[in-house]
């Protein structure tokens, strides 16, 4: 069975209620590829507002940008996986490079969050990727495999997981991995899945690319055999996001 193309829009800490409403309206008016699964991740404060706007449109789902693994407690400022589940939010992004680099989340932190999210019936976009220093030291695949090895024991059902390869050096910098560079790491991730989990999981696992994805480069990337979609940052706040969702048309 062919893997369904997946495009996530990570709005990060951007926007207002009004701008979010306009983004949703633009997506609803766009003719999106029906064979592409589209998910948007607004800031936590706007999550339920956007979810309500999209309620009449089953083509697009919402995602949390992060979640804490504890069900509840004295964790000021955090949103728990159980709260996302209770609010009917189906997806959550975990392990984004900004969480790892700025907020110092470890591989073990991501593993705990992944297990908690899956235990609460959320679907998870697990992010992995290397820094520029690690890439220049030819450690890209070693880093990604280390991150995946940490998360793998937390996953009981790989059908609920999308892996996002996001080279840190290409996020928000305007730089983008070439199609060949991205494909090389995606192929390594699929090989890892075959060896670590199973051939069946390897064949069905959706591996998406994130890192300055834009309308100008999405089609070449989408043609690569192991790239099954994108996790889009800045461009998800622009009209071109619809073009990225249609990268395989």
Number of H helices, E strands in the chain: 11, 8
Q: Which domains does the chain have, with CATH numbers?
A: 77-208 (3.20.20.70)
Can you tell me whether residue 67 is helix, strand or coil? Answer: coil
Strand intervals (E) in 148-202:
161-165
At a CB cut-off of 8 Å and minimum separation 6, what does 186 contact?
165, 207, 209, 224, 226, 227
> What does the DSSP 8-state code read for residue 121?
T
- pLDDT value at residue 19: 98
Q: How far apart are CA 74 and CA 50, in angstroms?
A: 27
Residue-wise pLDDT tens digits, 144-182: 999 999 999 999 999 999 999 999 888 777 777 899 999
List per-residue pLDDT tens for the chain, 249 residues long. Answer: 689 999 999 999 999 999 999 999 999 999 999 999 999 999 999 999 999 999 976 789 999 999 999 999 999 999 999 999 999 999 999 999 999 999 999 999 999 999 999 999 999 999 999 998 999 899 999 999 999 999 999 999 999 999 999 998 887 777 778 999 999 999 999 999 999 999 999 999 999 999 889 999 999 999 999 999 999 999 999 999 999 999 999
Write out the DSSP string of 73-108.
Answer: SS-TT--BHHHHHHTT--EEEES-HHHHHTS---HH
Question: What are the residue numbers of the active site?
Answer: 96, 166
pTM as predicted: 0.97
Count CA within 13 A, CB hemisphere, residue 186: 27
């Amino acid at each position: 069975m062919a893997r369904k193309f997946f495009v996530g829009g990570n709005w990060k800490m951007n926007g207002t209620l009004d701008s979010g409403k306009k983004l949703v309206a633009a997506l609803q008016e766009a003719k999106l590829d029906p064979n592409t699964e589209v998910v948007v991740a607004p800031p936590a404060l706007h999550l339920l507002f956007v979810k309500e706007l999209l309620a009449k449109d089953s083509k697009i789902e919402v995602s949390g940008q992060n979640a804490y693994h504890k069900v509840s407690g004295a964790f000021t400022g955090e949103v728990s996986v159980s709260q996302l589940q209770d609010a009917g939010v189906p997806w959550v992004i975990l392990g984004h490079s900004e969480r790892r680099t700025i907020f110092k989340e470890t591989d073990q932190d991501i593993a705990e969050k992944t297990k908690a999210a899956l235990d609460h019936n959320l679907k998870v976009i697990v992010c992995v990727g290397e820094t520029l220093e690690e890439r220049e030291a030819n450690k890209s695949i070693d880093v990604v495999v280390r991150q995946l090895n940490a998360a793998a024991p937390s996953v009981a059902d790989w059908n609920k997981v999308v892996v996002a390869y996001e080279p840190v050096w290409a996020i928000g910098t305007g730089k983008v991995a070439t199609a060949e560079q991205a494909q090389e790491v995606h192929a390594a991730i699929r090989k890892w899945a075959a060896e670590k989990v199973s051939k069946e999981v390897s064949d069905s696992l959706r591996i998406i690319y994130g890192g300055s994805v834009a309308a100008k480069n999405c089609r070449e990337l989408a043609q690569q055999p192991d790239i099954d979609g994108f996790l889009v940052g800045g461009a998800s706040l622009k009209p071109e996001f619809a073009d990225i969702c249609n990268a395989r048309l």
